[in-house]
């Protein structure tokens, strides 16, 4: 079934719609209890509400005003000043289309248009009518060698083209419906050691994950990187193989779908620092040579300046 023909189901309702008024009240009261009731708590309260509901529902703001010193005027002023705050419901899944320099030059605008077209999202809108996806441009996802890159929730897709957009969205939804990736974020915590998980279930193997495993082991040995490689069985993302998942302390877990063996060193080096001087020198030299000879987009002055984080492009 294509994305266009999917019917809305209970599963895709926005969190706020699923919850009754009393549940909203309980959630807001808990947030106020944590953040405080004074006017200087406006930003933490709005951030917590947005995290909970993925936007700022009016009933939640009214409850804040009813239980704190904060006035609706304060809330609206801050919410309209900072672009991080949403006043409209967000979709079930967040699609970040990288429009950093490398991705832009490799076709990100066409990918963005293909995604919004596939989802039937019109000009001035960012969410499809069924509330499945909210699409936005971001500045850099920090994996420029995969350009053009798209991140849907925690899954990163590299080398996306206009033609691969329907397949990418379908594959993501199939994984999401199977609950794939749900354990990833939960597993990322500050005390757990860093690890790279590689799927070696039958679909992963058929998709080429043995080549990915070889490239991974070679990269780790070559650059003396201190990370554990864990082989995992099927995690329900069979349509997105071969895949790698990176879980490192202090950062959200990241899943890379449809990985190519030649992309493995860059994916690893984007997250981990080589453990020895020799490893760092080799990594720097490899990247310099790659930029010099193989990646024409990186010759653009300042291209590297935009890397290293995910920021809204508008
Ligand atoms: S410019 Fe797109 S990942 Fe860096
Ligand atoms: S076999 Fe690898 S995700 Fe299913």
pLDDT by position in tens, the chain (length 314): 556 555 444 443 444 444 578 888 999 999 999 999 999 999 999 999 999 998 999 999 999 999 999 999 999 999 999 988 999 899 999 999 999 999 999 999 999 999 999 999 999 899 999 999 999 999 899 888 889 999 999 899 999 999 999 999 998 988 887 765 544 444 445 566 889 999 888 888 898 999 999 999 999 999 999 899 999 888 778 888 888 999 888 888 889 998 999 999 999 998 888 876 666 666 676 666 655 544 443 333 333 333 333 445 55
Q: Is the CB of residue 140 below 6 angstroms from any atom belonging to ligand 1?
A: yes
Ligand nearest to the CA of 198: 2
| Model pLDDT, residue 23 | 87
| Model pLDDT, residue 268 | 92
Measured distance CA(293)–CA(310) in Å, rounded = 27
| Model pLDDT, residue 175 | 80
| Model pLDDT, residue 215 | 95
Where does the chain show beta strands of DSSP type E?
93-98, 133-138, 150-152, 155-157, 195-199, 228-232, 244-247, 254-257
Nearest CA to ligand 1 atom 4: 144
Q: Is the CB of residue 147 below 6 angstroms from any atom belonging to ligand 1?
A: yes
Could you tell me the distance, in angstroms and rounded to a whole number, from the CA of residue 16 to the centre of ligand 1?
Answer: 33
Of 182, 184, 199, the one to substitute when testing ligand 2's pocket (max ligand atoms within 8 A of C-beta) is 199
Could you tell me the distance, in angstroms and rounded to a whole number, from the CA of residue 86 to the centre of ligand 1?
Answer: 24
Non-local (6+) Cβ contacts of 132 within 8 A are 3, 6, 8, 12, 91, 92, 93, 119, 173
Q: Which atom of ligand 2 is nearest to the CA of 202?
A: 1
Q: Is the CB of residue 144 below 6 angstroms from any atom belonging to ligand 1?
A: yes
Ligand nearest to the CA of 257: 2
Q: Is the CB of residue 240 below 6 angstroms from any atom belonging to ligand 2?
A: no
Of 97, 102, 158, the one to substitute when testing ligand 1's pocket (max ligand atoms within 8 A of C-beta) is 102
| Model pLDDT, residue 311 | 47
| Model pLDDT, residue 302 | 32
């Amino acid at each position: 079934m294509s994305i266009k023909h999917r019917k809305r189901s209970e599963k895709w309702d926005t969190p706020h719609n699923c919850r009754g008024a009393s549940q909203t009240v309980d959630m807001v009261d808990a947030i106020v209890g944590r953040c405080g009731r004074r006017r200087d708590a406006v930003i933490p309260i709005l951030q917590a509400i947005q995290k909970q509901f993925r936007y700022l529902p009016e009933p939640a703001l009214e409850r804040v005003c009813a239980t704190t010193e904060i006035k609706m005027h304060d809330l609206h002023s801050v919410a309209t000043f900072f672009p991080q705050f949403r006043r409209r419901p967000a979709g079930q899944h967040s699609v970040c289309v990288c429009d950093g320099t490398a991705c832009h030059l490799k076709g990100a605008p066409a990918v963005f248009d293909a995604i919004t077209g596939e989802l039937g999202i019109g000009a001035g809108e960012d969410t499809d009518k069924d509330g499945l996806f909210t699409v936005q441009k971001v500045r850099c996802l920090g994996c420029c060698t995969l350009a053009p890159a798209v991140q849907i929730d925690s899954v990163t897709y590299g080398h996306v083209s206009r033609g691969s957009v329907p397949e990418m969205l379908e594959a993501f939804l199939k994984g999401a419906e199977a609950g794939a990736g749900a354990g990833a974020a939960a597993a990322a915590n500050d005390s757990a050691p860093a690890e790279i998980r590689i799927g070696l279930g039958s679909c992963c193997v058929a998709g080429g994950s043995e080549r990915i495993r070889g490239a991974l082991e070679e990269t780790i040995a070559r650059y003396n990187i201190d990370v554990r490689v864990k082989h995992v069985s099927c995690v329900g993302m069979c349509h997105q193989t071969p895949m790698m998942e990176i879980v490192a302390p202090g950062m959200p877990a990241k899943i890379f779908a449809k990985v190519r063996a030649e992309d493995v060193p860059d994916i690893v080096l984007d997250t981990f620092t080589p453990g020895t001087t020799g490893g760092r020198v080799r990594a720097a030299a490899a990247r310099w040579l790659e930029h010099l000879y193989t990646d024409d987009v990186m010759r653009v002055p300042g291209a590297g300046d935009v890397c290293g984080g995910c920021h809204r492009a508008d």
